[in-house]
Amino acid sequence: MKNKFLLVFTFVFLMMCNPFFGQQKNQLKLEKIFIKSAAKALLAMEKEAIDVKAEGVAIVCFVPGDSVQSWISKMKVVGSLSDEKANLLAIASAKASEMAETLKNSGEKGRKLKTGEFGWAGGVIVKVKSGFVLASFSGAKTQQDIAISKIGLTMLAPFFN
C-alpha cells in the first residue's frame, strides 16, 4: 500500500513539475476560450455577409504560441458552401493556410507562392498575447471578403489578449 501511494505521489509530482504539462493545461484553457468565442465571431461575419448580400464560407482560427505548430478552427457556411465555379470552403481554407505559413494577411505580396498557395486576399491575421488569431471569408468580392474577415478578427482577438 505504501509503495502504491509513493508511486502515485511521484507520478503526480513529476507531472506537475513538468513544464510540458503546464503548457498543455494552458493550451486546453485557450482552446476552451476559442470554442466559446468563435461562435460570436462567426455570427458577426455571417451578419456582415448577409448585409452585403454575400454567400460563402467563414473560418476563424486560433494558433497558440509564437509559431504555428497547431491550431483550432471553426467554420460556418453563410448561404452556400460552393457556387457553380468554386468550392468556397477550399478557398477560405487556402487563405487560412497561407496565413499560417506567412503570419501575414492572405494575398500579401513579398514572396513567391508555394505549391498549394494561391495568393488570394480575404484572410486577416493578428498577433495576440497568447498566439495568433486569423479569420478568412470566401464568396464575395475581394474587398468584401477582407471586410467580413476583419469583423471576425475584431470580435475574436480580444479574448486572447
Decide if pLDDT at 155 tops 80.
Answer: yes
The CATH number for 135's domain is 3.30.450.150
Average pLDDT, the chain: 89
Question: Residue 128 and residue 115: Cα distance in Å, rounded?
Answer: 28
Read off the pLDDT of residues 91-107 as tens digits, 9 standing for 90 and up: 999 999 999 999 999 99
Domain count across the chain: 1
Q: Which residue has the cell 470580435?
A: 155
20: domain range? 2-160
Report pLDDT for 7: 45
Query: How far, rounded to the nearest angstrom, does the alpha carbon of residue 124 sit from its chain's CA centroid?
Result: 10
Read off the pLDDT of residues 5-61 as tens digits, 9 standing for 90 and up: 544 444 444 444 444 445 677 888 999 999 999 999 999 999 999 999 999 999 999
CB-based contact 98:119 (threshold 8 Å)? yes
